[in-house]
Amino acid sequence: MSEQEATGATDNAPVPETSQSESAAASQPSGAAGAVATAESPPDGGPVVLDDLGTQSFSDAVDATIVEFDDGDIVSGKVVKIDSDEVLLDIGYKSEGVIPSRELSIRNDIDPHEVVDLGEELEALVLQKEDKDGRLILSKKRAQYERAWGTIEAVKEKDGIVSGPVIEVVKGGLILDIGLRGFLPASLVDLRRVRDLHPFVGRNLDAKIIELDKNRNNVVLSRRAYLEETQREQRDEFLANLKPGEIRKGVVSSVVNFGAFVDLGGMDGLVHVSELSWKHVDHPSSVVQVGDEVEVQVLDVDLDRERISLSLKATQQDPWQEFANGHQVGELVYGKVTKLVPFGAFVQVGDGIEGLVHISEMAAHHVEAPEQVVTPGEELWVKIIDIDLDRRRISLSIKQAAEGGEVAAEYREHFGEDAFDEQGQYIGPTAEETAAAAEGDATADEAAAPEAPAEGETPAEAPDAPATGDDAPPAETG
């Protein structure tokens, strides 16, 4: 058998006939989008041909699949790639759009993987349709800005509330992510001033919009206004139940130059510097510190202005009343000269108490000027000749103290009851003190004790103490 016979083919073998339609279909180019679609032949062998372009050219059909947009438009697309410094977004354009990392979020220095996910659908604003490298540059955060402004303006019109996490502490306040950067001043973070803002980072806060300027891209928020609004009913009830004269416990929330604010468990009340202490106060911080638990008296409740006036000294013993209760006119007390004035000298005779020795009571002889008899800082015995508790004035006498008299009770402890007679007159040291002095073995306390005045003389030293007299202006008590 020949080779041709074995293969079943000869040069002159007849060619099978094909229809013109089949030849035309075979000659059409494959892969052209929508050019000619040829379905598989039906069972009877007849081909089906579909032309869906109509009068449209192939190039026009391709162009119709590309999205049309301009700079500043907002487009949508799918994240197809995430790099360390950019994200690629497929928006149906001839090339993917590029979102630089700085345009992904209003937050600074973020990782793109923390902001978007692969395959995520998102919106972006067209920054440049074609940069110098021919790339399409987009911005996710600016698209958010555009959407957020519309929402925030609507919230502002309705006097509504915005909410967002604190993303940054800046000079003077906080930055909230509310779709754009909202500034929350430190003074408006809470109902009272907050000194350390860092604990708020990461927290989700509600706030009211108090200022909005799209041209300056400026949004100012107030959480304090939100808190005041939501707590108004509670405050009204709290104020209605608070009565002047009540004693309440609280915690010092802040200290300012003019006083201290105390949190009463619902609202803050002010303790003015004049109500902090019976003594003179140079600055409130010398009396109280933030966090101190205190007991205060309610002085006044102003319902219209929602203000509470408190007093710390009202819950403490009045040193003037205490001095008046423990002393009588005619007693001898020990004190220190604090100030000289033309009409006499002020002498401290108790804690926060000063009395006046009038120039006529400084010596038995005529005195032209106080410095002829005493000097500031000098310690000496004086006699109480008058106590005016209402005017907070005490009159003292050096001249009468020199004549002797009854020593005030607190000084008797330094000598023992045996050193005084039944009328309180000093009659000399005890036997034990005399023996100790003779042996030179007196204790430190006995050596430091003031020498009690014998009749007609004034000892040189004794414990400190203060008061005020009739002829001088009242001493400052705070």
- Measure Cα distances from 24 to 19, 52, 199, 262 in Å: 9, 17, 77, 96
- Measure Cα distances from 212 to 248, 323, 405 in Å: 42, 62, 79
User: Phi/psi class of residue 394: alpha, beta or left (left: φ > 0; alpha: ψ in -120 to 50)?
Assistant: beta
214 or 54, which is more confident: 214
The predicted model gives 164-186 an average pLDDT of: 90
The predicted model gives 61-75 an average pLDDT of: 65
59 or 406, which is more confident: 406
- CA 95 to centroid of chain Cα atoms: 50
Q: How far apart are CA 281 and CA 451, in angstroms?
A: 33
Lowest mean pLDDT of 40-49, 107-116, 196-205, name the range: 40-49
* Beta-bridge partner residues of 348: 336, 354
Lowest mean pLDDT of 27-31, 106-110, 166-170, name the range: 27-31
| Model confidence at 462: pLDDT above 60 | no
Lowest mean pLDDT of 134-138, 219-223, 340-344, 444-448, name the range: 444-448
Lowest mean pLDDT of 12-16, 150-154, 361-365, 412-416, name the range: 12-16
Lowest mean pLDDT of 15-29, 199-213, 340-354, name the range: 15-29
Nearest residue to 111 (alpha-carbon basis) of 119, 101, 121:
101
pLDDT at residue number 106: 72
Tell me the pLDDT of the chain averaged across its residues: 76
CB 219 within 8 A of CB 211: yes
421 or 267, which is more confident: 267
- Measure Cα distances from 168 to 163, 173, 175, 184, 218 in Å: 15, 9, 5, 10, 16
Lowest mean pLDDT of 54-63, 91-100, 147-156, name the range: 54-63
H or E stretch at 293 = strand 293-302
Output phi, psi for 166, to 5 deg.
-80, 120
Read off the pLDDT band of 317 (50, 70, 90): confident
CB 380 within 8 A of CB 451: no
pLDDT at residue number 422: 61
Instruction: State the pairing for strand pair 173-177/181-185.
Output: antiparallel
H or E stretch at 112 = helix 112-115
pLDDT at residue number 99: 87
Read off the pLDDT band of 19 (50, 70, 90): very low
pLDDT at residue number 436: 55
pLDDT at residue number 21: 41
The per-residue pLDDT for range 178-214, each reduced to its tens digit, is: 888 899 999 999 987 888 999 999 999 999 999 988 7
| Model confidence at 468: pLDDT above 50 | no
The single-letter DSSP state of residue 85 is S
CB 106 within 8 A of CB 95: no
The predicted model gives 309-332 an average pLDDT of: 86
395 or 218, which is more confident: 395
The predicted model gives 58-64 an average pLDDT of: 55
pLDDT at residue number 61: 53
| Model confidence at 257: pLDDT above 50 | yes
Question: Which residues, in sequence order, are CB contacts of 433 under 8 Å at separation 6+?
Answer: 415, 416, 442, 446
The predicted model gives 239-249 an average pLDDT of: 88
pLDDT at residue number 52: 59
Q: How far apart are CA 331 and CA 383, in angstroms?
A: 6
The per-residue pLDDT for range 352-361, each reduced to its tens digit, is: 788 999 999 9
Read off the pLDDT band of 416 (50, 70, 90): low
130 or 32, which is more confident: 130
Nearest residue to 224 (alpha-carbon basis) of 188, 194, 196, 195:
188
- Token pair of 438 as six digits: 């003779």
Could you give the 3-state DSSP secondary structure of residue 21? helix
- Token pair of 61 as six digits: 């059909």
- Token pair of 90 as six digits: 């497929």
H or E stretch at 3 = helix 3-7
CB 384 within 8 A of CB 329: yes
H or E stretch at 144 = helix 140-157
CB 378 within 8 A of CB 458: no
pTM over 0.75: no
pLDDT at residue number 434: 44
pLDDT at residue number 44: 54
Q: Judge residue 345's burial from the number of C-beta atoms within 10 Å of its C-beta, 0-12 exposed, 13-18 middle, 19 or more buried.
A: buried
User: Phi/psi class of residue 96: alpha, beta or left (left: φ > 0; alpha: ψ in -120 to 50)?
Assistant: beta
The per-residue pLDDT for range 378-405, each reduced to its tens digit, is: 999 999 999 988 888 999 999 998 888 7
Share of residues in the chain with pLDDT > 90 (%):
24
Return the C-alpha torsion angle 282, 283, 285, 286, nearest 10. Answer: 0
The predicted model gives 331-347 an average pLDDT of: 92
Q: Judge residue 251's burial from the number of C-beta atoms within 10 Å of its C-beta, 0-12 exposed, 13-18 middle, 19 or more buried.
A: middle
